[in-house]
Structure 1
Amino acid sequence: MPKPVSTPGTPADTLADTLPSTCPAAALRSVRRARPMEPVEALHPHLFVPTPQRPVRAKQHRLSARTRVIPHSHSWAQIAISLDGVLHLSAPQGTLIAPPSKAVWIPPGLVHAVAMVEEADLVSIYVLQDDPAQGPVLPDLPSCGVACNPQDWARCRVLEVSPLMRELITALPKQSDDQPAPDAATLQREHHLSALLLEELRRASEVHLGVNMPQDKRLRMLCEAVVADPTQHESLADWAADTGASPRTVARLFQQQLGCSFTTWRQQVVLAHGLSLAARGLPIQQIAAELEYSPSAFSAMVHRTVGMPPARFFGQQAGSAAHRVGSGAVSRPTRE
């Protein structure tokens, strides 16, 4: 039976480690005061190993706030989704962020760590993959013709979770191998649910939510400072001054190391902080103020970055209590 492998060290800086655990205004700059992450071992993956007879297995755990599952790997693929909180998944290339409306695909053999800033239910779907190039598909059932780029399934990806996919994830049996074996009818139902889930997964749209970290030491120092507090400086010139490098050098390093501009990368950091604040119940207008944006500028940035309005992205419906400005809102200088 294949065993998961726990790996000492961190595959990449866990963005959640730097996020504040409390709000409002001063919290964003109180990183050092935040309660550190509580490390826990991998959540018994050896009791949910996928096999040719059961190629898709599901498990669910309620995790306490500021919990971090230590770096580990396993020989099967994984779909990770938080049902009611923001999931931070660290891998060698950086940190991916997934609110409850998103899931993270983790290919076989990849060292990764999962962190939850707030208390939440974490569901893991383990998928047996004889041929990773085929993408997620049951070995005895053909795909319904959805195109599959092998490179897409060889890396971590944040994927949109459709209502159907969410219901399928909820419906999958989650009994471990140390419990009584399921009967034939349950196994048949699990097989049908699994086939449809993987087909939905292949159709899911990728959402670019994550914070990649560079290898260059100077640039990494700058990036770590931005992750700790993206509101500390406004211009690239000010950030570059802290490292002793010229703005032109920093801009070139961003393109070389991360394949994007500083502005694009920083917006991902802002979204990560925004997701964490939203998960604690702050309304969008206060989130914008915490991140030193005006409501209109914040709305435009979110829509431009992820292709949807803030209310949808942060899971807040217009008119709900979470969407209204609370009495604790703090007025701060904003960007237009």
Structure 2
Amino acid sequence: MLGSVEYHALFVDGTLHIGATPRCSVLDVSPLMREIIQALSESYSPDSRRQQMMMDLLVEEISSAEKRSVALPMPSERRLRALCDALLEDVGSTHSLADWARKIGASERTLARLFQTELNTTFSAWRQQARLSHAVDMISRGTPMLTVATELGYSDTAAFSTMFKRAFGSTPSQFKATRALPGHQV
């Protein structure tokens, strides 16, 4: 995870069927889900009818929540790890894979193959995912959109906004608005 996060552990009865897959996943937390989690985290009594109803609603919300692909896999191979670490240090870098190959001391073809075999993705897809991860963190902290776009290597906010909307289904401003609940940090 990048930046500050708020963490709440929820233990859900394993016999309940939540979502299509039993795998660990990142969910889009709706404002309703956020408020239920907050209310349950303040005080929980399993014997309370109100809290049981909130738990039932939370399970329903989790079942219908949209899954997000924000995972950023990291490689173990030393050359690819060096490249990924460098990209995370300078996520706005516009260097091509060929440029990185010269810096890392490996051929462009070798690095492309390593991205596929180790991370099951391409260089450009991994870099975009790294940028999206940073974007979510920066937006959540209230960083101005122009600053976010510039730091992530985009020439203007429109190009950044287009990429963000394609990935998340909402503009950065809409994304920020859904997370800006009074008294809550994301």
TM-based fold match above 0.5: yes
- Aligned match of 1:304: 166
Q: 2:10 aligns with which of 110, 115, 126?
A: 126
- Structure 2 unpaired stretches of 5+: 179-186
| Other-structure match for 1:254 | 115
2: CA distance, partners of 1:311 / 1:173: 28
Is 1:171 aligned to 2:55, yes or no? no
What amino acid is the match of 2:132? Answer: L
Structure 2 residue aligned with 1:239: 100
Percent pairwise identity: 37
Q: What SS class does the counterpart of residue 154 from structure 1 fall into?
A: coil
Change (3 A) 1:240 1:312: farther
TM-score (norm 1): 0.48
CA contact 1:173–1:190 (8 Å) conserved in 2:
no
Evaluate the alpha carbon distance shift between residue 230 and residue 183 of structure 1 in structure 2; reply closer, same or farther with a 3 A threshold. Answer: closer
Q: State whether structure 2 residue 79 is matched by structure 1 residue 218.
A: yes
Conservation of the 8 A alpha-carbon contact between 1:226 and 1:266: yes
Question: Quick one: which amino acid aligns to residue 102 of structure 2?
Answer: A
Give distance in 2, aligned partners of 1:158 and 1:130: 18
Q: What residue number does 2:28 align with?
A: 160
Question: Normalising to structure 2: TM-score of the pair?
Answer: 0.81
**In the comparison of the two structures, how many residue pairs are matched?**
177
Work out which structure has the larger RCO, using CA pairs closer than 8 Å and 6 or more positions apart in sequence. Answer: 2
> Displaced runs of 4+ in structure 1, greater than 4 A?
none
The structure in which a higher percent of residues are helix is: 2
- Could you report, residue by residue, the CA deviation over 1:57-107 in whole angstroms, capped at 9, with x for unpaired residues? xxxxxxxxxxxxxxxxxxxxxxxxxxxxxxx2xxxxxxxx6xxxxxxxxxx
| Contact 1:159 1:204 (8 Å CA) reproduced | yes
Instruction: Please give the residue correspondences for 1:42-191 in structure 2 after superposition, counting only pairs within 5 Å.
Output: 88=1, 117-118=3-4, 122-131=6-15, 135-136=17-18, 148-149=19-20, 152-155=21-24, 157-172=25-40, 174-175=42-43, 182=45, 184=47, 187-191=48-52
Q: 1:208 touches 1:306 (CA, 8 Å); kept in 2?
A: no
CA contact (8 A) 2:91 2:153 kept: no
Pick the structure with greater CA Rg.
1
Q: Choose between structure 1 and 2: higher strand proportion.
A: 1
